[in-house]
Amino acid sequence: MAKLWQKENQSTDAKIEKFTVGHDPEYDLLLARYDVIGSLAHIKMLASDSVNLLSHSDQATLEKELKKILVDIEAGTFSIDEGMEDVHSQVEYLLTQKLGDVGKKIHAGRSRNDQVLVDLKLFMRAKIEEIANSVSSLFDVLINKSEAHKSDLIPGYTHLQIAMPSSFGLWFGAYAECLVEDAELLEAAFRLANKNPLGSGAGYGSSFPLNREMTTRLLGFEAPHVNVVNAQMSRGKTEFYVLTAIAQLATTLSRLAMDVCLYNSQNFGFIELPSELTTGSSIMPHKKNPDVAELIRGKANKLKGAPNDLQLLMSNLPSGYHREMQLTKELLMPAIDEMLDCLQITQFMMEEIKVKKNILNDPKYDLLYSVEEVNKLVLVGIPFREAYQTVGKKIENGEFGSISKELNHSHLGSIGNLGLAEIGQQKALVWSKFGFEKVNEAIKHLLA
C-alpha cells in the first residue's frame, strides 16, 4: 500500500518497512479520535477567508466524512489496515477512497510531524484530565477517612522506631495533601500539553498563510508554540513532563501501599483488609496476603523509571524531527494506563480498609509519650534540654512508669487540628488552574 511520502516507482524493503513501522498502528488507534479532531480544526482554518486554501463546499464535504470516521472510532469499529503506516495515513486513505481528490486536499499546510504532535498533545491533555479526576476521587476518600478516624491513634515512626503518637486522621490526611502537591506537577504537564504545534509543519513552518491562532482557538489550546522549531522540540519534552508527573504520583502510591502492607501485618496489626482484597497460600491456611497493595507498590515502582527511559530515548538528539520520537508512544501510553489502573485500585482499597481501635493502649507503646512528658516539664519552667535529660534518665533506668496519655496538640496540621479544610482549599486552587472546562467546551463546539 502506497505511503503518504512514497514517490512513483519507489519501494521499501519489507523488512525495513516492518522495522520502521514497529508498533505504531497499535498505539495509533489510541490517537485516532484526536487525529480526526485535529483534522477538523485544520480544514476549517484552510477554508477561512484569510487562508483560502480550501473551498467551503470541500470543507463541508470533508467535515461530514471526518465526523463519520469519528463515529466509527467511538463505536470501536475503526481499524488501521494491514500495510498502512499510521493513523494519519488511514484517515487520509479513507477520505480519498470516499471523496477522491477532495480527500487529498486535507494535508495542505501540514506535515505528519505536526499532525502527530497535535494528536499527542490532544491525547495527553485528555488523559491528564482522566488522571486528575482519579486523583480527585482518591483525595476525597482519604479526606473523608481522615475526618472519620481523627481520634483513632497509631504510633508514629522515625527510622522504623516508635517515635511519637500519630493518628489515622494524620495518616490519611497526609496522603491526601501529598496528592495535591503531586497534582502541581500534573498541572505543569497539562500546561505544556495545552500548547498548539499545528502549523509548524515538519519543523520549519509553511509558505502558506496559515492561521495558527485560529487552530489554537478551535482546539481549545491555551496558546501556540510560537517558534516552529521549538514546537517540534516539544516532542518528547511534553511526554517527559507527563511521565514525571506520573512518576511522582507513583511515588506517593507506592509509599501508601507499603504502609498498608506493614500496617496489615500481624507485627503491626493496625488495619485489616477485607477478604476480597487479599489472597491465600497454597500450603498455609492462615494466610491473608495483601497482594493488591503489593502489586500497586510494584507497578508504581516500575512507573518511577518511565521518565528516565524517556530521557535516555531522547538523549543526544539535535533540533528537528528524528524517528526515535516514534518510540515515545511505547513509553507514554502504557504508563498512563498503568497509572489510571493503580489510582482506581488504590481508591477501592482505601474505601474498604478497616481501622483498628485503641492501638496505643498496649504498654509497648508507652514510650511514644516521652516527648509529652518532656513538654510538661518545660511548661512548668524547666529548660527543654534539662527536661529532655531528666526524662531520658528515667527511660534508661526503667522508671518511665505510669503516665498520662492525654494529648494537647492544637496547632495547624497536628493530631488535634488536622487542617482538612485548608488542604481542601489547596486542592481547589490547583484544580482551578487546569481549565478543563474551557478545553472541553472548545472541542464540543468544534464537533457540533
Rounded (10°) CA dihedral 11, 17, 20, 25: 120
Query: Per-residue pLDDT for 282 more than 70?
Result: no
Cell numbers 534539662 label which residue?
A: 386
Distance CA 336, CA 173 (A): 25
The pLDDT, as a whole number, for residue 5 is 42
pLDDT band, residue 345 (cuts 50/70/90): very high
Query: Per-residue pLDDT for 257 more than 80?
Result: yes
Query: Per-residue pLDDT for 9 more than 90?
Result: no
In the chain, % of residues over pLDDT 70: 94
Domains of the chain: 14-108 (1.10.275.10), 117-155+167-197+227-359+420-435 (1.20.200.10), 363-396 (no CATH)
- Residues composing the chain: 448
pLDDT band, residue 283 (cuts 50/70/90): confident
The pLDDT, as a whole number, for residue 176 is 98
Query: Per-residue pLDDT for 358 more than 90?
Result: yes
Distance CA 30, CA 120 (A): 10
Lowest mean pLDDT among 137-141, 394-398, 438-442: 394-398
Give 96-143 pLDDT, tens digit per residue: 999 999 999 999 999 999 999 999 999 999 999 999 999 999 999 999
pTM of this structure: 0.93
Give 25-74 pLDDT, tens digit per residue: 789 999 999 999 999 999 999 999 999 999 999 999 999 999 999 999 99
Average pLDDT score over residue span 310-329: 92
Give 187-213 pLDDT, tens digit per residue: 999 999 999 999 999 999 999 999 999
Q: Which residue has the higher pLDDT, 15 or 154?
A: 154
Average pLDDT, the chain: 93
Distance CA 397, CA 404 (A): 19
pLDDT band, residue 186 (cuts 50/70/90): very high
Using alpha carbons only, how large is the chain's radius of gyration in Å?
A: 29
The pLDDT, as a whole number, for residue 246 is 98
pLDDT band, residue 13 (cuts 50/70/90): low
Average pLDDT score over residue span 216-227: 98
Average pLDDT score over residue span 434-446: 97
DSSP string, 119-152: HHHHHHHHHHHHHHHHHHHHHHHHHHHHHHTTT-
In the chain, % of residues over pLDDT 90: 85
Residue 198 pairs with which residues in a beta bridge? none
pLDDT band, residue 7 (cuts 50/70/90): low
